[in-house]
Amino acid sequence: MALREISLTLPNRPGALAGVARTLAKERINLAAISVDSAEGKGRVRLVVNDPDRALGLLSTAGYDAEVREMLAVRLEDRAGSFLKVLEALAREKVNVTSVAILVAREGNQSLVAISANDLARARRILQQAGFVSRAAERLVSNDDLLATAPSIPSESVGLLL
């Protein structure tokens, strides 16, 4: 199963993000990555969680308008410029990156980064040919077992991080 990211828009006011966290933490949905940005009174939240289908249902029931987008996982050496190589490979082939999430999981000494693009299948082929996507990274990083590689993070982490 592909890696998926949930995104939603919230009002930019105190407690709005806490409501999302409460909804997910109450049902023990684990958080592997989060991005929050705000402009013009609105906040855009992107989450990578262990069970996106259940999280989407919970958020919908709680009145949030959320959507899901597929991503792919790439391995990067933990050094300056490694992510630039991924971006350049996609740019050469005119594939537009639409979102990026640095994941809490790692593969050995390599960072794992999730990428969404306007043509994900093509992005996957390009990055596989360039040596960034491996079967091991794709197996390691799925929403179902994302936090299994980070045992020091408590299962209730969404409640702690948000």
Give the highest mean pLDDT range of 27-31, 84-88, 142-146, 154-158: 84-88
Shared domain check, 23 and 8: yes
Flag the least confident range among 99-108, 120-129, 140-149.
140-149
The string of DSSP letters for 26-94 reads HTTPPEEEEEEEEETTEEEEEEEES-HHHHHHHHHHTT--EEEEEEEEEEEESSTTHHHHHHHHHHHTT
pTM exceeds 0.75, yes or no: no
Per-residue confidence (pLDDT) for residue 87, from 0 to 100: 93
As for how many domains the chain has, the answer is 2
Residues 6+ apart with CB under 8 A from 158: 21, 24, 25, 29, 30, 31, 49
Express each pLDDT in 77-100 by its tens digit: 878 888 899 999 999 999 999 888
Shared domain check, 105 and 90: yes
Between the two ends of the chain, the Cα-to-Cα distance in Å is 26
Per-residue confidence (pLDDT) for residue 9, from 0 to 100: 93
Instruction: Show which of 69, 97, 127 is a domain's final residue.
Output: 69
Q: Is residue 8 part of a domain?
A: yes
Shared domain check, 51 and 97: no
Number of other CB atoms surrounding residue 81 within 10 Å: 9
Query: Rounded CA gap, 44 and 147, in Å?
Result: 23
Domain encompassing residue 109: 71-147
**Mean pLDDT of the region 29-48:** 86
Per-residue confidence (pLDDT) for residue 54, from 0 to 100: 92
Per-residue confidence (pLDDT) for residue 160, from 0 to 100: 35
**Mean pLDDT of the region 9-36:** 88
**Mean pLDDT of the region 24-49:** 87
Per-residue confidence (pLDDT) for residue 84, from 0 to 100: 93
Instruction: Show which of 18, 38, 69 is a domain's final residue.
Output: 69
Q: In this structure, what CATH number is given to the domain that contains residue 62?
A: 3.30.2130.10
Q: Is residue 158 part of a domain?
A: no
Shared domain check, 93 and 62: no
Say if residue 37's pLDDT is above 60: yes
